[in-house]
Structure 1
């Protein structure tokens, strides 16, 4: 620091010299007055000369600065006017106050001064520009731009105002390259003819080669339209590779190959249907194949005759408007039973769990699995947190016997934690973890078996040790009844257990009316042989007067939409509202001219629910899936929280509109 001060003293400064001369003149004047006077005159001249020189020097410096500023302003103006990118000045209202020639060329218009930027460039978001955000991919005619904004303060006669400078960066080449990369990305698609064996078996022998050839030809033609690579690796299974640019068209046509395959004349009662799994946005072919396989599994689990597109974690569904085809043989039931036996034998304890708020099908299936476990000599527990109205009567019968161990979620977790490696979990009548009585229990056990008849949704129990999911079946009780036949050399089934299973089948088929096949009656006949009393089963479903009146009100409140759809909104605080709503939806189908019904109600806890029913022409599952629900083609439901009941009705109407339009676009 002291060195800097010293160096400053050594710098030439006229004032220092003048002060030195002044001091010397004073000393000379003390000894010689004449010489001192001459020195003073010289000093005055030097002062005057220094003042004049400084003034002249300052003028020259000021002129130099002014000339330099003028040069900079000229250069800045020249740079702005000839900037090699479009530039626009706008005020905060969006009015264009200035633009350069490049911007004029980009929009092919010259007379735009004073116009609003949103009119000149459609979809321009002025709010983002004001906030300093970069506007991505603004299309102007055939070019694409990224727009950078900069707010500038201007002084005008003492007044301040602000304008925005918009820099239009041309990214057309990048955009084209990006689209080319996206379009040329590969997609892996797996196709499977759903009921190939059944169709071929029921086709006359001389007609079989022609049927196989027709199926193969339609699939090959479909793949060739996309310039795809197709390989058939089994008689009924194909793999197709094509570019991503064809996917939008496939989705817009809702995978028309599904309709083409269904139109094939097989000369029997079984239509030919196809399931498609599409894997998109995978990092490599291995990941694409994994996505395609999981999508195909989901399509098959939902009953087939549909395409499922998996884009990373998201699933999109197309088709699926026909009923699942019933399998005529019980081979798979026998295989599942033989696979379930060792899993039970390897476990010390087996826990059975259904969905929360269980219905008769869920409870009956749990009782049937309980009997299978007891017959194998193992301890069995049934997780039951709440006894709902549909199972209240039959639950009391089983509780009185004392042979059945009903436990809560907390007790189930405690049992699983004690013997995690030796405990097995059997989930019945649901495949969604969040719908189960205790979702945490799924992570507490090593072995999980799944038995369900619902069409698979996007949420499902992953990697179970055993999965028996058949959407063609009328009920989970039907599947469990078939399994019981093959669990051992002798099936021990009590009368009340057979009645519980028969009650589950009766409820889900609406007294053997809906989704009822040959195997449904065969299962019912087997249960009847074990002593199931149909009169006792009917008594389980008797309503009290209050419930009967509530159902009557639901029917009377119904409004007809689209000529044959009934929607009823029942906004009354009653117990078992969801059960009554479901029964009311069933009753609406008994009215001539109604092919589908939806009942919207509210539980006492504030939950809004929709119960959907159909005679088969309308797929209520697809409609309610749009609202976050699910179920079957003829029976489905959805739930809502923190929303008004009439808002739910509006959402339902929108979902129905969308479903109808999708059907018209096919």
Structure 2
């Protein structure tokens, strides 16, 4: 605009220069011809005066026109904003409505009364203005009002009173109705496909446990239960085999199943036709995939997760991760030993193909991890291969056993530290992980990143974090201990494996530990494994000595028991103030001891060492401590579980565990 003004100004000056030039020529002509010169001068002066007057009139008219346009535009803008279909209001910082347009008045009130001078909270409860005084900052929020969804966009402005110097702040708010968009989005989301894989746990065993005359009724009731699920979910049920089904449904119907926490699990257990084994379901659900193919992959992964956690539960997988429901039953022992025989054969092939073999358990190994590791070492030795167990430091849980191993020439050179293990490991190294399936729990996680040949042998319920891309996975959650699994690999393999007496005692010690002297999670195969180890020369008295404790441990345990808090008359929770090296062992023993109190169904004990809080959880089976510990990153079994927490204080961890217990009690 300035460029144009300058341009026209130059033209004005040229006009005047022209007139002045004519005037100068007329004056010059006076000396030659007085009459002509006089006429020229008079005309030039007149023209200049007339031209100047004309320009003055035009300028005044232009300014008046501009004022009229500004007034018209101002009125148009005010009218447009007032009648804008988008609700708009201006608020004082205390919430008083300074100004509002018609759409806003219609939005907040059914009558035609103006909302000006009223407080916004008179119309919309709990509506507050953020105290942000930077007028350049535009903010957004979401509000639900009269069953409509709004996105509000607002910015702050300030006006200064020049006479007083005071500053007033106000906020301009635009209300954008997104109800139709939200409804359309919800309709799209609810219309997404959900895929559900269902398996009846141990179907053949359940049918065999039912009186023969009732078996057809049992099968019919199971089919009827799943058909009712198909009807309730408006889905499509396909029976793949006697014990496997698949259901396709919409997401909105899946959400109703989630709200009921998949009550079908409880309904299945209620089926009773004289069967000694309960009917339980393993259900894997996939939803929210980018495609049907990805949703199917989610369902398959969720189903594998359920089987790894013992069945009788639901795992739901979406883009964000896993959700779990159920998991109340312990499962039951499978009688077949075929899997152990097949795994034993596959492990033999892997060992024979390997030049370097590294074995490791979890951090702070216990007798189950160490006994299983030594058992795998002896298997390798029987095949003529030299293996190494990765162990950096020894804790009291395995101190006596490890000392005996170091004194025995049979195990010479068996242990290696982290640095040496990493040194000798390459992509072809066989890495055998025992008693854990979580990479972050292993003795040396770096080995898993180096080797491409990893074997996992574990009995803990599968967690969200697990070692992937294994060449061999032996994961049986119904087994008492990893030592029992390794014993079966020795016992049922086609190769005649001879193990050392101390190895047998280590394996028996691991079974002792995880069954609490054959009191918990003990099946027929557990006793068969123990009998086999006894025949291999395991001395029960020597095994008992592995668990001898120091006198100070008893005092710490007594203090833990003394400060025990009982919740709802059935759950104990306590902690240790002492920070001793073997605190994880002491709190585990204290948790076991607390279960001897009458009416107590579960116990939780915490202790701290360094920057780590250890938590031991025990149950008599009615309370699933695995699920509770999983909420803080732990896991284990229904009746024996634990967790480790870093970068939190003991009191913080205690309160977190207590909150989890109280939430569980409320849900019950």
Aligning the two structures, in what range does the TM-score lie when normalised by the shorter sequence?
over 0.9
Q: Determine if the alignment matches structure 1 residue 413 to structure 2 residue 414.
A: no
Shift in alpha-carbon separation, 1:547–1:120, aligned structure 2, 3 A: same
1:643 is displaced (CA, Å) by 2.0
Structure 1 contact 14–50 (Cα < 8 Å) conserved: no
The alpha carbon displacement at 1:45 in A equals 4.7
Q: How does 1:321-336 map to 2 (within 5 A)?
A: 321-336=328-343
What residue in structure 2 maps to residue 228 of structure 1?
235
SS in structure 2 of the partner of residue 85 of structure 1: coil
Structure 2 counterparts to residues 229-628 of structure 1, below 5 A = 229-404=236-411, 405-417=414-426, 420-421=427-428, 423-603=429-609, 605-628=610-633
Distance in 1 (alpha carbons) for counterparts of 2:545 and 2:11: 117
Residues in 2 aligned to 1:428 and 1:633: alpha-carbon distance in whole angstroms = 20
- Tell me if structure 1 keeps the 8 A contact 2:308–2:461: yes
Shift of 1:95: 3.1
Aligned pair in 2 of structure 1 residues 324, 15: CA closer, same or farther (>3 Å)? Answer: same
2-side partners of 1:462 and 1:511: how far apart? 33
C-alpha contact 2:435 2:460 (8 A) present in aligned 1: yes
On the 8 A contact 1:600/1:609 being kept in 2, the answer is: yes
* 3-state DSSP of counterpart to 2:596: coil
For the 8 Å contact 2:192–2:250, the answer to whether it is kept is yes
Residue 202, structure 1, aligned to residue 214, structure 2: no
Specify every segment of 5 or more residues in structure 2 that has no aligned partner in the other structure, as ranges.
Answer: none
2:150 aligned with 1:145, yes or no? yes
Cα offset, 1:41, TM superposition: 5.8
- SS of 1:198's partner is helix
3-state DSSP class of the match of 1:268?
A: coil
Give the direction of change, closer, same or farther, for the CA distance of 1:644–1:85 in structure 2 (3 Å limit): same
Q: What corresponds to 2:91 in structure 1? A: 90
| TM-score after normalising by structure 2 | 0.92
Q: 1:150 to 1:311 in 2, by over 3 A?
A: same
What is the match of residue 636 of structure 1? Answer: 641
Answer whether contact 2:27 2:38 (CA < 8 A) is retained: no
**Per-residue deviation at 1:276?**
0.6
Compute the displacement of 1:125 (Å): 6.4
Residue aligned with 1:307, SS: strand
The one of 127, 130, 148 aligned to 1:127: 130
Q: State the alpha-carbon separation in 2 of the partners of residues 407 and 633 from structure 1.
A: 34
Counterparts of 2:253 and 2:141, CA distance in 1 = 25
CA 1:10/1:302 → structure 2, altered by over 3 Å: closer, same or farther? Answer: closer
Say which is worse superposed, 28-37 or 223-232, in terms of deviation: 28-37
Query: How far 1:225 moved relative to its partner?
Result: 0.3
Structure 1 range deviating more: 131-140 or 30-39: 30-39
Paired with 1:221 and 1:450, the residues of 2 have a C-alpha distance of: 39
Question: What is the CA distance between 1:302 and its match in structure 2?
Answer: 0.8
CA distance in 1 between counterparts of 2:343 and 2:624 reads: 29
Unaligned 5+ runs, structure 1: none
1:30 Cα shift? 4.6
CA contact (8 A) 2:619 2:638 kept: yes
Residue equivalent to 1:171: 178
Instruction: Tell me which residue corresponds to 2:63.
Output: 62
Deviates further, 328-337 or 452-461: 328-337
320 and 6 in structure 1: CA distance in 2 versus 1, 3 angstrom threshold: closer
Alpha-carbon offset, residue 316 of structure 1: 0.5
Residues 524 and 119 of structure 1, relative CA distance in 2, 3 Å threshold: farther
- Name the CA distance, whole Å, in 2 between partners of 1:387 and 1:9: 96
The answer to whether structure 1 residue 192 and structure 2 residue 199 are counterparts is yes
How big is the alpha-carbon RMSD for the aligned residues of Structure 1 and Structure 2?
2.5
In 1: Cα distance, 2:320 partner to 2:149 partner? 30
The structural deviation recorded for 1:98 is 1.4
Q: Deviations over 1:145-187 (max 9, x none)?
A: 3333344555666666453332223332222211111011000
**Secondary structure of the structure 1 residue equivalent to 2:358:** strand
- Could you tell me the TM-score, scaled by structure 1's length? 0.93
